[in-house]
Structure 1
């Protein structure tokens, strides 16, 4: 079960927004939305033979678990594999698959170690056992053991170039983690709590200047699009489609969140990704017909958000565009794109507003910020100089870590610095935003201790 964490921090460099920093964390990244995955998987794990399922009616149950697993819906597959194993304890493959699924269950990742270690002791022949055991050790901060089994996995015959690259990155994550955990920040972390966080997924928080309004992306029961399969057809076994939700703060209490309105929330994916400093413009990620995804903006008129308008072709392309941050003067837009010509999968770009109000041609922020891995979720501080973003590259200790880079007087970005452990974890830590007064930050994390 996930709990809400709040951080009271006395932090030295590289966080340069004051001595005392409060961070509020959202949890629930395991069923992340269309443009963000929790873990890289290439589904090299082989399916089981049908004859492992021996009782009448079990074949359908087995196939259901396999379908969920292949679709990376690990939390749906997990209870089915556990049920099968409890019925047929001699079939180790069921427990092996359950162990892999536990890698994605944020409140029980330690069970991945327990299950996969048992498979090793019982000499289960599984092509990727060393890889997944390395993942389990890494996620549970047992870095030396993680490196040991990742190294064994590298010796596997017929290893693909993609898997080899992934393992090499994970070994680097373990080495970075060893350094970061030796110098922990003095922080107290608290989950933002119910009613914001639920057993669904809540992420990408955006906050008004006075911190009285919180807008975030929600994925779970009650969403406008409900559950859909990969073809966009209603399916009770499908994944929930996203909505934008909002909550107001009364004193120290967040009120029950509600959908932001039918002009924004549709049956497609709709994610809130940024709010202008005056609170009048909300930037939205929306699915497009080709499912690549684009950035839209909605303006607040009275108490209602207007129909979102797509940003121009200098921002949106035929590729995916997602995360965005607007400078306090609203003249510079930082955003993420997978367009051709970048340095990796996701890169961060910048566009400035022309005198006629049109966003100019986007410019890649270059190798100082972007890496061959994914770089995402930019947030430009109101001072216009400090850029926070999340990256799977640089000195990440696992998944996305939050980094800080400062714009120098010569117009170049400083070397990004990992903002440190335990803010960053072996899991995904992303969508970091800072309050207007610089005293608090809000972000999404897949760390142990969440609700969903």
Structure 2
């Protein structure tokens, strides 16, 4: 993945992170929403306006969300409205806020949509509740397979990916580092996306998709075009930001990546082909774009996210050119003379994966490589990884930077300032909105005042803590297995009104306990609890009810008809 943050790239991010690209909202019927209450007519107007804005593109999802929430104040029990609010929260954030609305929609109508458990799984994942997230991702898979939802088949491998990320997340969360983070101070972050922090001496450059209402928007997602800003470090925080001017025009994404030599810098521009790397220099407070970097760029591919160590004898970059391991891979070139560079070489399959590698940063001394990836043992979308250069010059095995640097959401564009303090962008909750830039929190120096005080001998009891790491590590797995038990039951009757005991007895004269469940206006009566479809089907055929059938339940949820045995994984 190329973190130049054009609209197309952001759509890919949504697709791979939660498959919300093109996510359709549910129709909110006027008759069911108003229900003869005139006070809700204005609320329904908000619903219609919200849907119209949402259909323009994800850039309008925050506006849609605000309108849906205004309607929700007047009718908070409509399942379709709650579903739509949940979808908008998953896109616009804060993503963990989606959970209550999705659960509310599902409780009123368990069959509200084929993807409801997938969305609930995402919401649990963004709350770091990985075990419950796994359960719902598996429930989503079971619904798709049992009911043969052809349009939802694409969610099967994506659900598997999320399940593995949740398992990785449990391990990484349990082994979190003591590093402290903080959002970058000052006015750098906004309600829009900020990312790609880069440092030139004492100046911070970063990219942002902020804009005013009348500014130009991308046709792909209706977000504002990416712009380059800078800020200087004050005494305690970054000063007021300034937009950087360039000679490319307005409707173009323009990103600073690395210093190339004493005068020139490496930039990305979407104004050329699929996106290329260019050299640029500052001329009278305006960036002047120079020549394309010919030894890197290819005609039909997109190149970006370049980084050069202080020595200047290597350049690392990301490209989606043919022949890689995944959609986008990391490549590098070596300087062979003052004017000649080697041909691009793939950094190899130990670092590149079948998934996307998103951006790359090499330390000033050239001994450490940092990159974003959806592969390896990521815990959520893109994680940041690092590897050390070995004595023979080969890069070692990538290591996940762990929690709290990585989160259950996308974490990207790692960089360091000249003092070695690191910065990166994250889509996690708790920021101002979208992607925000975070940095390493440097502890304040502690000055201890020495005082002479009387010595008091107090007996201290030190508790002995036995090593329980193995049992603690296994607990989530056991809990997951407990929560993932599927139960097959035999449904013997369904009616719009509650059935009398004598009517039920006329249908079923066996000895099994009859469970009564009211779902979507139907009173459903089931018997038995079987661990396999085969056992349930055998009892169905012998229970004496000709039109009985097998139904699958999970954690109290009625998932639907079971037409064949579920082969769990």
Instruction: Check whether TM > 0.5.
Output: yes
Q: Tell me by how many angstroms 1:219 deviates.
A: 1.3
Q: Normalized against structure 1, the TM-score is what? A: 0.82
Contact 2:46 2:68 in 1 (8 A): no
Counterparts of 2:287 and 2:99, CA distance in 1: 47
Counterparts of 1:317 and 1:193, CA distance in 2: 40
- Secondary structure of 1:35 counterpart: helix
| Higher helix residue share | 2
Structure 1, unpaired ranges of 5+: 1-28, 232-236
Distance 1:253 1:264, change over 3 A: farther
Aligned match of 2:271: 288
- Secondary structure of 2:208 counterpart: strand
Aligned match of 1:67: 55
1:255 lines up with 2:242 in the alignment: no
Q: 1:443 aligns with which of 424, 429, 433?
A: 424
- Secondary structure of 1:198 counterpart: coil
Structure 2, unpaired ranges of 5+: 35-40, 434-569
1:139 lines up with 2:126 in the alignment: yes
Moved over 6 A (4+): none
1:48 lines up with 2:38 in the alignment: no
- Secondary structure of 2:390 counterpart: coil
How many residues are matched? 410
Contact 1:244 1:264 in 2 (8 A): no
Q: Tell me by how many angstroms 1:153 deviates.
A: 1.1
Aligned match of 2:179: 187
Aligned match of 1:35: 9
Larger radius of gyration: 2
Q: Write out per-residue CA displacement over residues 273-315 of structure 1, whole angstroms, 9 at most, x where no aligned residue.
A: 333585x43322211355x222222123565432243221533
Distance 1:66 1:382, change over 3 A: closer
Q: Write out per-residue CA displacement over residues 78-128 of structure 1, whole angstroms, 9 at most, x where no aligned residue.
A: 12332344455453212101112212344x333211111112222242111
Contact 2:245 2:285 in 1 (8 A): no
Q: Write out per-residue CA displacement over residues 301-332 of structure 1, whole angstroms, 9 at most, x where no aligned residue.
A: 56543224322153343122221111212221
**CA RMSD in angstroms, aligned pairs only:** 2.8
5 Å-filtered alignment, 1:415-430, equals 415-430=397-412
Deviates more, 1:53-62 or 1:187-196: 53-62
Counterparts of 2:165 and 2:333, CA distance in 1: 32
Q: Normalized against structure 2, the TM-score is what? A: 0.66
Distance 1:229 1:207, change over 3 A: closer
Contact 2:248 2:271 in 1 (8 A): no
Deviates more, 1:363-372 or 1:158-167: 158-167
Aligned match of 2:294: 312
- Secondary structure of 2:306 counterpart: strand
Counterparts of 1:121 and 1:59, CA distance in 2: 21
Distance 1:245 1:46, change over 3 A: closer
Q: Tell me by how many angstroms 1:357 deviates.
A: 2.1
Counterparts of 1:417 and 1:200, CA distance in 2: 30
Distance 1:436 1:43, change over 3 A: closer
- Secondary structure of 2:252 counterpart: coil
Deviates more, 1:265-274 or 1:398-407: 265-274
1:158 lines up with 2:149 in the alignment: yes
With a CA cutoff of 8 Å and minimum separation of 6, indicate the structure with the bigger relative contact order. Answer: 1
Aligned match of 1:169: 161
